[in-house]
Amino acid sequence: MDIAYLSELAVNGALTGLLYSLFALGLVLIYKSSSVPNLAQGALTMLAAYVVLALSRQLGFPLWLAIAATTIIMFFAGLGVEKVALRRMAGRPIVMILMMTLGLDIFIRGSTLAVWGGTSRSMELGISYDPLFLGPILLSRINLAGAGVAIALFVAFLLFFRTRHGIRLRAISDDYIASWSIGISVEHGVALSWGMASVVAVASGVIWGEIQGVDQSLSQLLLKGLTVAVLGGLDSIAGAILAGIFLGVVENVGSSYLDSIVGGGSRDLIVAAVLIFTVMLRPHGLFGRHDIERV
């Protein structure tokens, strides 16, 4: 295999990886505030894509307006889910909260299937599929555009966490009882993180919907997203970015080697291996917080 082909695989893998990171960003936001991986994040992503399509196809909104409106709708839907389903779970064992998010996932998948059926729809963002060459390297335009959106969102959130509201959210993720003791509304903080994760779901739903079509399989992004979030340490945005790029590159390069040996299907094996080895060898991920211990 020559170096040009290898770098093409790596660059495209990195771009796809940034889109995994984008998905994982939603998981990280909720994990930071409530220490639970949101198993409904894939379903939320799919729901966002369906809402965009419903607004643009069924109600005839221009696409940009449909996306903007969906962002607002999903933000409030996120707040609502937290208030209705999660808030009453405060103080319960984490595994019960996890099961609640699983219940939400099943509920959203079931409802979207009932409303919009199982056929795949296309997003039709209007991005051209003509090849784009960077020197000898062939790039996908949609992946490039998606990676741009992902990076813009990462920067926005990194800046947000330096504002006063953002600092309060980080305080909640450090110690919610201490947060209460100084008058931080932990409930509102957690709700805000659900709202923000739902907004991230819109971005990732639109981009992934364009890439692979809008259907039930969109919700299965959860598995790769979780792998990336775990590898990145679950509570670190920077970790999610680097872990996504890492997974994308390893998956793309690795599968092109392995597929010729095992005859296809090695992508999932590589993702599984990354997840399993992370949990075994680095349970805090690459960038997760250890509890600070002073000597």
Smallest distance, another protein to C-beta of residue 239, A? 13
> Based on CB atoms, which residue is closest to another protein, 174 or 259?
174
> Based on CB atoms, which residue is closest to another protein, 119 or 181?
181
> What Cα–Cα distance (Å) separates residue 194 from each residue in 72, 114, 200?
13, 25, 10
> Based on CB atoms, which residue is closest to another protein, 145 or 184?
184
> Based on CB atoms, which residue is closest to another protein, 126 or 290?
290
> Based on CB atoms, which residue is closest to another protein, 58 or 163?
163
CA dist 186 and 33 (Å) reads: 9
Phi, psi (degrees; rounded to nearest 5) at 48 = -60, -45
CA 261 from chain centre, in angstroms, equals: 31
> Based on CB atoms, which residue is closest to another protein, 130 or 291?
291
Smallest distance, another protein to C-beta of residue 30, A? 17
> Based on CB atoms, which residue is closest to another protein, 5 or 157?
157
Tell me what percent of the chain is helix, strand and coil, each rounded to the nearest 5: 75, 5, 20
CA dist 207 and 233 (Å) reads: 24
Nearest alpha-carbon partner for 196 in 31, 62, 52? 31
Q: Which two tokens stand for residue 114?
A: 């009932």
Nearest alpha-carbon partner for 161 in 256, 49, 237, 229? 237
CB contact at 8 A, 37 and 105: no
Nearest alpha-carbon partner for 10 in 155, 128, 149, 134? 134
Give me the residues that bind another protein (CB under 8 A), please. Answer: 91, 164-165, 167-168, 170-171, 173-185, 289, 291-292, 294
Smallest distance, another protein to C-beta of residue 176, A? 8
Smallest distance, another protein to C-beta of residue 207, A? 31
Smallest distance, another protein to C-beta of residue 25, A? 19
CA dist 59 and 76 (Å) reads: 20
Smallest distance, another protein to C-beta of residue 171, A? 4
> Based on CB atoms, which residue is closest to another protein, 225 or 288?
288
CB contact at 8 A, 55 and 61: yes
Smallest distance, another protein to C-beta of residue 193, A? 15
Q: At what angle do helices 141-160 and 186-212 cross, to 10 degrees?
A: 170
CA dist 275 and 228 (Å) reads: 8
Neighbours of 272 (CB within 10 A): 12
Smallest distance, another protein to C-beta of residue 129, A? 44
CB contact at 8 A, 28 and 196: no
